Amino acid sequence: MHHRRRRRIAHRTPPSCVRRRVVFNYELGWDSTAILLRWLLHPETRDFHLNQMIVIIAQVGEEFAGTKRLVEQIIFPLLTQHRIRTVQVARAGPSDKDGITVLSDTRAPSVCHTEGAWRLGDHLMRDGTAPQYANGRHFCAQRFKGWPIAKWVTQELRGRRYRSIIGYHAEEPKRAAKAADYADIQRTHEFPLIAWGWGRAASRYTAIVTTGAMTIEALDQFGHYLDGMSLDLRGFSESSYARIGGIPDWRGVLAVAEHARQQWKCHLEVTTRVHHGVNDSPEELRTLVNWISDQLGQHTPWHVLPGNAGSETMASAMRARRLGFEGGLHYVYGGEPHQPTCCPACHHTLITRTGGVTRLVGLNGTACEACGHESRLHLSIFKPR
């Protein structure tokens, strides 16, 4: 019996693929959102220019209202800011002969068309069946997501070779291997989360880190289990967020962080990338520091990073760190490697970081070994069970 040879999963991009069109299959979930946000906000993690990328969404008509709201408030403004072509497609009818409907094709997306066209729910009701899965194949996903995307790409690229980006994570190697079997001369499938070694928990945590935004309703769904959040706070004014934040309702980010701290007792860490002339005024920074101290607590770590390599920006970042200490924050870090964590009371070293290895060297539980000061350091993102 002849066995089809399984293709190797693409973890690294061959040099010959770098200039191809990149088709990003955005499924609106945690995993694909983690990839998209990392590539948008951390350009050093991708090997292509954003003008090569097409973000394509297959709408099945069954998404939550909260998903639509978050995509429109957070993701679409970022795609618009970077002028990334964003396409939304859907099945036009029950038969493949009905073709597809292009719901939107723009570089300034604003509406997430979660209503779809021919809805999956209507299809299942008509046939009197349930979502189908057999022999490792998700038939509904193939018909309502895979097929419309493949149809649009075939019509658009007309045989040109491209890179297909899929959001399978490190705990889904079998799904990735099966998808890799469908690669052909026109397309190569790539799985960034697997290449990065990110599983489901990592991708969810990254989505929180990089956006710094979610609905309070969404937070309440898992707040009981969450011990830590990392808030990427781009500034503390409407003008700062208008230029570098990409989030229209930036004060909603503060409300979610405060709710996480006060309602769910989450440990938070705040990161701010300082840009000279944008978000580095002493008044804005002092207001930011006061908010951290008053709403999150003086023990909340604040990571101050330069937004670029310019000397003025580096000086602004150093000034921000000084203002953080002057404002009463106990743990303020910069962008340089190997920074230890010291006791705010006696300055005894509590944690060392050298060569990528972190060691607890001066702690008795979470208290300083030297003076007994309670550091209130959290050593896990999850609460003890």
Distance in angstroms between the alpha carbons of the first and the last residue of the chain: 51
pLDDT in tens, the chain (385 residues): 444 444 445 445 555 455 789 999 999 988 899 899 889 888 889 999 999 999 999 999 888 888 898 899 889 988 998 999 999 999 998 888 999 999 999 999 999 999 988 887 676 666 556 555 445 555 566 787 889 999 999 999 998 999 999 999 988 888 888 887 776 778 889 999 999 988 876 665 555 665 667 788 888 877 876 778 889 999 999 999 888 877 778 898 899 999 999 998 888 999 999 999 999 999 999 999 999 999 999 999 999 999 988 899 999 999 999 999 999 999 999 988 889 999 999 999 999 998 777 889 999 988 999 999 999 887 765 665 4
Q: Where along the chain do the CATH 3.80.30.10 domains lie?
A: 212-336
CA distance 90 to 101: 5
Say what the pLDDT of residue 133 is.
Answer: 47
CA 173 to centroid of chain Cα atoms: 21
Close Cβ partners of 102 (under 8 Å, ≥ 6 residues apart)? 87, 88, 89, 152
Residue with tokens 């090569």: 52
Say what the pLDDT of residue 3 is.
Answer: 45
Query: For domain 15-196, is the CATH number 3.40.1350?
Result: no
Count Cβ atoms below 10 Å from residue 238 Cβ, excluding itself.
12
Say what the pLDDT of residue 204 is.
Answer: 59
Say what the pLDDT of residue 2 is.
Answer: 45
Q: Do the strands 85-91 and 100-106 form a parallel or antiparallel pair, or are they unpaired?
A: antiparallel
CA distance 16 to 239: 42
CA-wise closest residue to 20 among 28, 30, 10: 10
State the SS3 of the chain: CCCCCCCCCECCCCHHHCCCEEEEECCCCHHHHHHHHHHHHCHHHCCCCHHHEEEEEECCCCCCHHHHHHHHHHHHHHHHHCCCEEEEEEECCCCHHHCEEEEEEECCCCCCCCCCCCCHHHHHHHHCCCCCEECCEEHHHHHHHHHHHHHHHHHHHCCCCEEEECCCCCCCHHHHHHHHCCCCCCEEEECHHHHHCCCHHHHHHHHHHHHCCCCHHHHHHHCCCECEEEEECCCCCHHHHHHHHCCCCHHHHHHHHHHHHHHHCCEEEEEEEECCCCCCCHHHHHHHHHHHHHHHCCCCCEEEEECCCCHHHHHHHHHHHHHHHHCCCCCEECCCCCCCEECCCCCCEEEEEECCEEEECCEECCEECCCCCECCCCCCCECCC
pTM for the full model? 0.59
Architecture of domain 212-336: Alpha-Beta Horseshoe (3.80)
Q: Where along the chain do the CATH 3.40.50 domains lie?
A: 15-196
